Structure 1
Amino acid sequence: MNPATSSVRVSVVQFDPQVGTEHRNANLRQCLALATEAANGGATLIVLPELSNCGYFFASRQDAFDHAEAVPSGRSVQAWIEFASLHRVYLAAGLNERDGMQLFNTSVLIGPNGFIGKYRKAHLWNLEKLWFTPGDTGFPVFDTPIGRIGMLICWDIWFPEVARILSQQGADIICSLNNWVWTPPPLFDEAGKCMASYLTMTAAHVNNVFIAAASRIGEERDSRYLGCSLIAGNNGWPIGKVASANRQEILFADIDLSHARSAPIWNSLNDLQRDRRIDLYDQTLGYAKHPALPR
């Protein structure tokens, strides 16, 4: 067996951050404690859920502002920077970002040497439209020593364009930060997977990309969360188990990110990249923000 070109231990953290300014310190302490457990387990890349420092369902626009902070100067990002530097890891984490008088549902990527970049959620779910401005960062992919990392947030996975654009920019792995909520039943199949699990697996499969999806659990202001965190291989199948719907868990997967750069030919006649009909649709679906993309 050939040695791994880009060996990475990925970890996704599933827990229960609570909304309410009185919970902010406890949320930050808990996510740091769980991330430390993941780092002590050998994780190189750790993914926390969406809005992991502040909870999700705000009571009003003012309440949303009260939970927000600047990026990267805010206290949570600074604490995550210190953590990543101490443990020499990469961390993707979600927060409520304030930029002037606008709020964004944001994920940040942090490495051993500090803040790398951010993604602002493009597709807003339900009441988010009352608090947040739709993201304006496009779909950035960040080059790091361990590989090329993209990010998406929760509802984004229902839009196949997002994972496709990230993969077409060369993402080796997509960090998926989520607060998957209970919706009208059926919520789970007999295997215990929710629809978001299958959407994650499908996106990984059709784009030949790893996806590390961290979700949350618990109840908050009459809302419930689905859990079901997972790490999908670039063939789409989960690496290890899919997390439960109601327990705090940390999942690990040892992967070689370079496998996402291969051109998997399933047989002598079919290849996902070669078979794309870019004569009928644009190679990047009209997206042209990344300098690595063809013009």
Structure 2
Amino acid sequence: MALSPSTAQQTRVACLQFEPLVGEKQRNLDASVRLIEAAAAEGARLMVLPELCNSGYVFETREEAFSLAEAVPGGPSCATWIAVAQRLGVTLVAGIAERDGNALYNAAVVIGPDGYIGTFRKVHLWNAENLFFEPGNLGFPVFNTPHGRIGVAICYDIWFPETFRIQALKGADIVCVPTNWVPIPGQAPGREAMATILTMAAAHSNSMFIACADRVGTERGQLFEGQSLVVGCTGWPVAGPASRVAEEIVIADVDLGEARRSRNWNAFNQVLRDRRTDVYSEMLGSGQTPGWY
């Protein structure tokens, strides 16, 4: 039986924005644990960390990327995150360079109080990532957790509407986005990151929550945008955007069930049911199976 608005459970979501340093895995891992503990102390139970947050991002060679990558979930970073998630009773979505045999993936792990839940591999590779990583081959899984159904995307994935639509159709309540946003050509100085606008549009057009955790700083000459945020299912930010330059924990209390309740916009329109599947395929040719929405 569906919960009424008065009895619906709130979930406190946190995006953990910080500056990883390339190659300094233990330092980065320690920073992530420190922020996880701080967010948990503020009551957060679902947390998102940046893309490649334990290794850094701007690799110079594939050999460097390979040396910093780990098995998932058997590597030391996952072991650390599993231990802290169990100790604090939280769920984490964290970016990591995954080594699978000789293949490398820009990945994100989903970890809960009971341990490892699953992996997402970045589907759309950005710029020099194509030199180091294989394109993701796991599609767009949706993970069942005590908080609700969680989808995952990584950075450039959000430029593709299919990323969010497929996950909405599979029943995702929230999409967690580990990311390393960079300035986009044509962006005027001081303007908000294009990614924040894309996130708001995707949340609105799919009636879902989206939580984006970006990094800050400049790494090997590459500037990152910060501006982590949590967007509500109506498309408006409910926390953030964060600073462009500072470490920050962005926190929002959300009722993930509202993502489904609010899809009926009026007496006639429901954003997912109104799709013209006589004109285009229901699952956009993804081959995946629709869920309850």
TM-score normalised to structure 2 length: 0.95
> Which structure 2 residues correspond to residues 23-172 of structure 1 after superposition, within 5 A?
23-172=24-173
Contact 1:6 1:147 in 2 (8 A): no
- 1 CA distance for matches of 2:123 and 2:7? 34
SS at match of 1:136: coil
- 2 CA distance for matches of 1:266 and 1:223? 42
Q: For residues 45-102 of structure 1, what are the alpha-carbon distances to aligned partners after superposition, in whole Å with 9 as ceiling and x for unaligned?
A: 0000000000001010111111111000000000000000000000000010000000
SS at match of 1:54: coil
Cα shift at 1:292: 4.2
Q: State the one-letter code of the partner of 1:18.
A: L
- 1:227 and 2:230 are equivalent in the alignment: no
- 1 CA distance for matches of 2:188 and 2:7? 38
Query: In the alignment, which residue of structure 1 is the partner of 2:250?
Result: 251
Q: 1:188 to 1:196 in 2, by over 3 A?
A: farther
How many residues end up aligned between the 2 structures?
Answer: 290
- 2 CA distance for matches of 1:107 and 1:82? 17
Contact 1:15 1:217 in 2 (8 A): yes
- 2 CA distance for matches of 1:98 and 1:194? 31
SS at match of 2:33: helix
- 2 CA distance for matches of 1:291 and 1:68? 33
Q: State the one-letter code of the partner of 2:44.
A: A
> Which structure 2 residues correspond to residues 204-243 of structure 1 after superposition, within 5 A?
204-243=203-242
Cα shift at 1:184: 2.9
Contact 1:31 1:48 in 2 (8 A): yes
Query: In the alignment, which residue of structure 2 is the partner of 1:201?
Result: 200
Q: State the one-letter code of the partner of 1:258.
A: G
- 2 CA distance for matches of 1:187 and 1:180? 16
SS at match of 1:239: strand
Contact 1:187 1:195 in 2 (8 A): no
Query: In the alignment, which residue of structure 2 is the partner of 1:283?
Result: 282
Contact 1:45 1:90 in 2 (8 A): yes
TM-score normalised to structure 1 length: 0.94
Cα shift at 1:262: 1.9
- 1 CA distance for matches of 2:253 and 2:67? 39
Query: In the alignment, which residue of structure 2 is the partner of 1:272?
Result: 271
1:6 is aligned, of 9, 29, 50, to 9
Contact 1:140 1:166 in 2 (8 A): yes
- 2 CA distance for matches of 1:32 and 1:102? 27
State the percentage of identical aligned residues.
49
Q: Any gaps of 5 or more consecutive residues in structure 2?
A: none
- 2 CA distance for matches of 1:266 and 1:114? 38
Higher deviation after alignment, 271-280 or 234-243:
271-280
Q: State the one-letter code of the partner of 2:41.
A: N
Q: Any gaps of 5 or more consecutive residues in structure 1?
A: none
Q: State the one-letter code of the partner of 2:38.
A: E
Cα shift at 1:193: 1.9
Contact 2:171 2:290 in 1 (8 A): no
- 2 CA distance for matches of 1:129 and 1:2? 45
Q: State the one-letter code of the partner of 1:58.
A: F
- 2 CA distance for matches of 1:187 and 1:50? 25
SS at match of 1:117: strand
Contact 2:161 2:202 in 1 (8 A): yes
Cα shift at 1:273: 2.2
Higher deviation after alignment, 53-62 or 285-294:
285-294
Q: State the one-letter code of the partner of 1:153.
A: I
